[in-house]
Chains A and B, each alone.
Chain A
Amino acid sequence: MSATTETHPDPSPPDASEGVEAELGFVGSIGAAFLDIAVAARELYSVFVRTLYYVFRGKRVKGAVLHQMNEIGVKSVAFICITMGFIGMILVYQSGLQAKRVVPDFTMLGATYLELLVRDFAASIGALMLATRVGAGIAAEIGSMVVTEQVDALRMSAADPIDYLVVPRFLASLVMTLALIVIAGTVAFCSGAATAYVFFDVRPDIFFNMQLVDVGDFLTGFTKCMAYGAAIPIVSSWCGLSTFGGSEGVGWATTRAVVNSSLAIIILNFFISAAGFLIFPG
């Protein structure tokens, strides 16, 4: 692999590739799209592997991870709490309405909601929210550094952009995604409990029912937190590092980071949930 292709793909203008695809015809265009996906997957894999390498072998700047924990985690607390609070209210209200029609008994409403929250919703919805805020921020920051040649200047200073830019965000995201999702889950549960009490007269002590939550649910939820915490900075950093052009390129990188991070979360959710149901069928 040449020195260039590792972190800095050649800045081919987007209209140029469109012109080439027009010459290829329909089948050729589909083939070209698959090739593009294969190249993107290889680059993403390369960023991931090199990030893991530098987690253990890199030399981090003092305070870089703490700084990113503040940027990624602390500054996301209010956003995550507000969104998850409202989502918790909506979920419990809709669930209560459905339960009212079928079995007018709300004793298991809290237990079912808590299981769903621990196993899936807190992690997946919280991570989707994080992807919009954190993913966009990472891609915009790294993308701006690419187009202003700061990433090239890093490479000239013998500082690998993966070690210097991606690893602190990766480590910070692993820790803070878990912490934020625990907070988000708690907020969603509390707002759900308040909704159940106001609209369906379910007392909080009845709503807080751990009967359906087992170790498998906790392990599945924890695995999702770690997977999403890793996926968001990796995907977003890759989008930032593959930025080309000027401010328009940074805009596209930001959009791609949000879309691809969200896709990664949904795909990971499918596989981890499937594995969770196979390993912990209860």
Chain B
Amino acid sequence: MLAFKNIKKSFGPKQVLNDVSFDVKAGECFFIIGASGVGKSVLIKHLVGLLACDSGEIWLDGEEISRFDEQQMGPVRKKCAMVFQHATLFDSMTCAENVALPLRKHKDMNAKDALAEAKKRLAVVHMQAFADRYPPELGDGMRKRVAIARALTVDPTYVLFDEPTTSLDPVSARRVDTLIRELCDKLGVTSIVVSHDLSSIFSIADRIVMLYKGKVLKIGTPAEFKATDNGIIQQFINGRAEGPMDL
């Protein structure tokens, strides 16, 4: 169980998050949506200590973690893996070495065992043939799958996806969607997905929260979002250029 309570965050004079509160239930596929720059990525980075909130609380499995230091964040980052927007693989390492890094650091495995395990993890995302290739040699969709394999190596309970289908072709995007849904259904992993991709949102989300001007505008199921008469939400989910949304 994960809960954000009254989270506030400013960068200089600009307040990005203003009293954001919501819960995420165990095992659900939870989407965070909203216009660009509304603070979706900023919000999920608070959960793993990559950013610190100005005020508010973050509860993870009964523990308040918003004031944890770098050392205390270690177990949190093992429990909550993150797939970044641009895959962020290390160019100087092969795909297998990229996936092996968290195994060596989080699980203290030796290099040989970590590499063998990494190759197995790459097979799960159908990338075993590319284990010895370097990230610049791969396409965006392939890099994304390797990044997902790297995130899953530590067997996390929560996986945070920051715009996982951005820059992917429609086929690769749907494959990533399927992978995220399978994580929830087969492994019981809680997925928190930041996305603009309407196809993803309405095909795999259990629940959605929409942020607008730093606040929570609505939380609900995809069906509830479709049925709402809120003009801002309707403009967003229908992708209309004109409407009440103030960008």
Contact = CB atoms under 8 A, between A and B. Distances in A.
B49 A4 contact: yes
Contacts of A6: 69-70
A229 B69 CA distance: 31
B12 A153 contact: no
B84 A149 contact: yes
Interface centre among B12, B77, B78, B106 (most CB of A within 10 A): B12
A152 to B, nearest CB: 5
B52 A5 contact: yes
Contacts, number: 88
B48 A149 contact: no
Chain A residues touching B, majority SS = loop
Interface residues of A, number: 29
Interface in A138-156: 148-150, 152-156
B52 A2 contact: yes
Contact of A149 (B68, B77, B78, B88): B88
A17 interface: yes
A266 B23 CA distance: 54
B22 interface: no
B25 interface: no
Interface string B8-21: 00011110000000
Contacts of B77: 155-156, 158
A96 to B, nearest CB: 49
A13 interface: yes
A2 B86 CA distance: 26
A278 interface: no
A281 interface: no
Contacts of A13: 11-12, 14
A159 B88 CA distance: 14
Given A20-B12, A149-B88, A157-B105, A3 B78 contact: no
A274 to B, nearest CB: 38
Interface of B: 11-14, 45, 48-52, 67-70, 72-74, 77-78, 81-82, 84-86, 88-90, 101-102, 105-106, 111, 150-151
Interface of A: 1-8, 10-13, 16-17, 19-20, 62, 148-150, 152-160
